[in-house]
Structure 1
Amino acid sequence: MADVVPLTEAHGDALVRFTAELPEGDRTSIREDVADAAVVRGWAAGSPGVHRWAAVDGGRVLGYVAVLRLPGWSDHVGEVRLVVAPAGRGAGLGRQLARHAMVQALEAGLTKLVVEVVPDQAAALALFTGLGFTGEALLVDHIRDRDGRLRDLMVLAHHVGDTWAGMRAVGLADTLGTPS
């Protein structure tokens, strides 16, 4: 299994290779233009309010997850962005990254997480609903894929604070080593 580490500028070239190797369908579901190496290197350089991690195996990036704190009156909410390379799928890497992001978000004081998913991404939907995310919105014709077709977008949410509070109440937080 890959190690989940904070993303740094040292990962820039490996991250560019990672995004270049993603299937077109995955690239469509990423808001930024990952075909632009400068954009991807910018992720590795960091930015305020954004926490990013990479799943690294032998210097190769196999997965990426970020939590972007929303501004202003929604500063208790974090948007999760996650993508796993085809070579890293099917072994629980996506779940490992998502769980890592959830714990880190809680430690950062966030109480709600949201993730945007294209409805035909069955694996992503299963991953996030399995972690307790539920549907909050279906935005019809909300995004345009690289071919110009309009696509729907689902917004899933997880009230992190409520989940951990329930776990603390029954003693599971201590057992799992989660933040108090």
Structure 2
Amino acid sequence: MTAEIRNLTRDDVTGLAAMFAKLSDLDLTLIREDLNDPEHVVSLADSPDLRWVAVDDGAVVGWAAVQRLPGWSDHVGELRIVVDPDARGTGLGRDLTKQALRSGFGAGLGKIVIELATDQEPVIEMFSRFGFTGEALLRDHIRDRDGELHDLIVLAHFAQEGLETLDAIGVVDALG
């Protein structure tokens, strides 16, 4: 896939809505932001810092964001990545993760975390290859739209400890 990854803009509101309409209920359960609300997406686009879309042939096929945590955890960023179901397995999630790590660490974050359902094994493996390690396992922490409970895993990547991994995937050079 040759998707262009760029900052989120107001022009992406309709494309994001189309991509999010394709997501499963479990996918939607794991997304904290209401990206189906056009007004909310416009507000995100108005401050695009650490928010990106992947566009392929005019269609939005991916979204990523690193949200800096507040207060005493302001050195930590929480990563969110969503890939269109039709574009999964193409390397787009990997490319969005590279963008997020490069930009997040470049913005001074010392740690980036992501929360995933434990049944997302291929995604967990991808993040492990990037140097993310397990921080916590929260049993029955997610309730899907059918009321079923799922375990949640928290993975973390530390900027200083993971420089060898970042160097191996070409992120260190981009950081300067």
TM-score scaled by structure 2?
A: 0.88
Corresponding position of 1:43: 44
Corresponding position of 1:103: 102
Matched, 1:155 2:151: no
Corresponding position of 1:76: 75
Structure 2: which amino acid aligns with 1:14?
G
Cα-to-partner distance string for 1:73-125 (whole Å, 9 max, x where unaligned): 11111000001001211111000000110000111000101000000011211
Paired residues of 1:115 and 1:156 also in contact (CA < 8 A) = yes
Matched, 1:23 2:19: no
Corresponding position of 2:143: 144
Shift of 1:20: 1.0
Q: Which runs of 5+ in 1 are unaligned?
A: none
Provide the secondary structure at the position in 2 that maps to 1:103.
Answer: helix
Are the structure 2 counterparts of residues 115 and 167 from structure 1 closer, same or farther at C-alpha, using a change threshold of 3 Å? Answer: closer
Structure 2: which amino acid aligns with 1:74?
S
Number of equivalenced pairs: 175
What aligned pairs does 1:48-63 form with structure 2 within 5 A after superposition?
51-63=50-62
TM-score scaled by structure 1?
A: 0.86
Higher RCO, Cα 8 Å, sep 6+? 2
Matched, 1:177 2:173: yes
Paired residues of 2:102 and 2:171 also in contact (CA < 8 A) = no
Instruction: Calculate percent identity across the aligned residue pairs.
Output: 46
Shift of 1:46: 3.2
Moved more, 134-143 or 104-113: 134-143
Are the structure 2 counterparts of residues 151 and 111 from structure 1 closer, same or farther at C-alpha, using a change threshold of 3 Å? Answer: same
Corresponding position of 1:122: 121
Paired residues of 1:115 and 1:157 also in contact (CA < 8 A) = yes
Structure 2: which amino acid aligns with 1:61?
V
Paired residues of 2:130 and 2:165 also in contact (CA < 8 A) = no
Q: Which runs of 5+ in 2 are unaligned?
A: none
- Distance (whole Å) between structure 1 residues aligned to residue 57 and residue 133 of structure 2: 35
Are the structure 2 counterparts of residues 88 and 77 from structure 1 closer, same or farther at C-alpha, using a change threshold of 3 Å? Answer: same
